[in-house]
Structure 1
Amino acid sequence: MSIANTLLNLNLSPSLSVISGMKLLLICICIFLLSACSKDEPNRTVVTPPSSPIIHSWLALGDSYTIGQGVAANERFPAQTAALLLQQGIQLQTPTYIATTGWTTTNLQSNINNSNPNKHTVVSLLIGVNDQFQTRDTTGYRQRFTQLLEKAIELANGKKQNVFVLSIPDYSVTPFAASYDTAQIRKEIDWFNNINRHVTQQYNCPYLDITASTREGRTNRNLIASDGLHPSAAEYKRWADKLVPMITQVLK
């Protein structure tokens, strides 16, 4: 029997039969694909591209104790702290310094204004020894230190917890101070530190007292640089060791 006769017996036209067959084939294909997708779905793995590490920045404000008079650049306390933080997985750019030997609070204020620095993740502030050495009055120091701390907070994007204030070292124990009234120097250093500590606490910023550490230079000359006045790299390392957990708590 011919195909035409068969189609006639089924009362179907050739074109209608072909269309119906195609429809059936399409339905089968769709069912197969949906079934395959549903089976594969639980085994699919979404790959998330790794995020880029956050690289922080540090602005170090101060005087000779910040710029590291008498030691190499990588031995300054901000540089040593940054190196230790890297070991903790916290990346910091090379610290930016606005600091020079001999600067008072007035000098630092002027140079910050002239530099117009960018905002940074971390800001450190250590200033006042030259105010004491130049017999500046403590009232004026309180005013200027307060203004500097406010500026430091601004430069830390307003984050008070990211501004780290260090106390003034006691240079009365150094060979340089041997010809001075060391008892008076010690007393005045305490006066200035009482001021910067109190102001820092008022603004709820972290404060690190390194003065007691520097006084150990009286019996341990390895803590004093070869110039007979400033801290050595070993002393700066002790500051860095104390700063690392403080900064890690903020940045992690």
Structure 2
Amino acid sequence: MRQRRIRGPDVGWLAWAQILGVICLSLTCLIGCTSPHTGQRQDNNLALQQLPRAHLTYVAIGASDTFGTGTDNPRTESWPAGLAHLLVQDEQSKGSKQGQDSIHLINLGIPGMHVHDALNVELPVALDAHPDLVTIWLAVNDLVDRVSTSTYEHDLDLLLQRLQKQLPHTHIVVANVPDLTLLPRFSGTDTTTLAHSISSYNAVIQSVVDHHHVLLVDLSQAWQELPQHLDYISSDGFHPSTQGYKRLARLFYQALKQHRIV
């Protein structure tokens, strides 16, 4: 009997026009925080124009769960937006008078993105931004599309290598794969096989994180609370809800505080 292929609703390759459109939307969404402008070089590589320096520039690399799919307003309800809000509150508690302008958020989350794609699409924009903080949550699409762990490891290692080479003073945070077997979307799949894939991917992520000495946010453990909080999942049974994204933002914030990054 053929095994049913495990797929999430946002996996697969998007047309380049769609991808570039989402990038433009993601960058346009920054206007609410810092009014950034985007430009395009003659070599067709996306770039960010230089902006007045905020206290902290934060870039989020990821896919639909970073973009904010599952909410009514991804611009304000994604977990990177929630994390930026928590960081603003943290700055204000320290006496900062910059308010919302103290954090410059660039959310590069693109639905359907894989790590290999991010190397060519999201990474150049991240490097142009010269951020103080980068978060990377980019594994689920690779996993459900059955990208081999060796290929995924190579691509994730290359992503971190390039970030650290050009941004040696930037704090980098990587999240692993939560327990997808708890999601309604996968209730009809072989959960034993899925759990094994998650474990294999998370072992690779841990190895790469350790090699590059960056911070891991262990969602595989933190998200075990999901059965007690079904309101954390949106109506598609896969992506977080607005409440779920708030919880994710808090988990990332707690990790940053625990390790004194902020």
Identical columns (%)? 22
Per-residue deviation, 1:196: 0.8
How many residues end up aligned between the 2 structures?
Answer: 197
Report the counterpart of residue 107 of structure 1 in structure 2.
117
User: In proportion to residue count, which structure has more helix?
Assistant: 1
Per-residue deviation, 1:154: 4.2
1:137 & 1:200 partners in 2: Cα distance? 18
1:159 & 1:167 partners in 2: Cα distance? 23
Q: How does 1:8-47 map to 2 (within 5 A)?
A: none
Match of 2:107 among 97, 108, 122: 97
1:165 & 1:102 partners in 2: Cα distance? 18
Per-residue deviation, 1:114: 5.9
Per-residue deviation, 1:59: 0.8
Amino acid at match of 2:66: T
SS of the residue aligned with 2:60?
Answer: strand
Deviations 1:192-220 (A, max 9, x none): 01111111111111111012233433443
**Greater Rg by CA:** 1
Per-residue deviation, 1:126: 1.0
Deviation beyond 3 Å, 4+ runs, structure 1: 113-117, 245-248
Cα gap change, 1:122 to 1:101, in 2 (>3 Å): same
1:240 & 1:185 partners in 2: Cα distance? 25
Per-residue deviation, 1:233: 2.4
Cα gap change, 1:246 to 1:173, in 2 (>3 Å): closer
Q: Does 1:137 align with 2:139?
A: no
Q: CA RMSD in A?
A: 2.3
SS of the residue aligned with 1:57?
Answer: strand
2:217 & 2:172 partners in 1: Cα distance? 11
Q: How does 1:1-252 map to 2 (within 5 A)?
A: 55-71=55-71, 72=73, 73-89=75-91, 91-93=102-104, 95-112=105-122, 115=125, 117-154=128-165, 157-159=167-169, 162-248=171-257, 249-251=260-262
Q: What are structure 2's unaligned runs of at least 5 residues?
A: 1-52, 93-101
Larger RCO, structure (CA 8 Å, separation 6 or more): 2
Amino acid at match of 1:122: L
Q: What is the TM-score when the length of structure 1 is the normalising length?
A: 0.71
Deviations 1:117-174 (A, max 9, x none): 321111111111111111111111110110111233346x2126x1011112232221
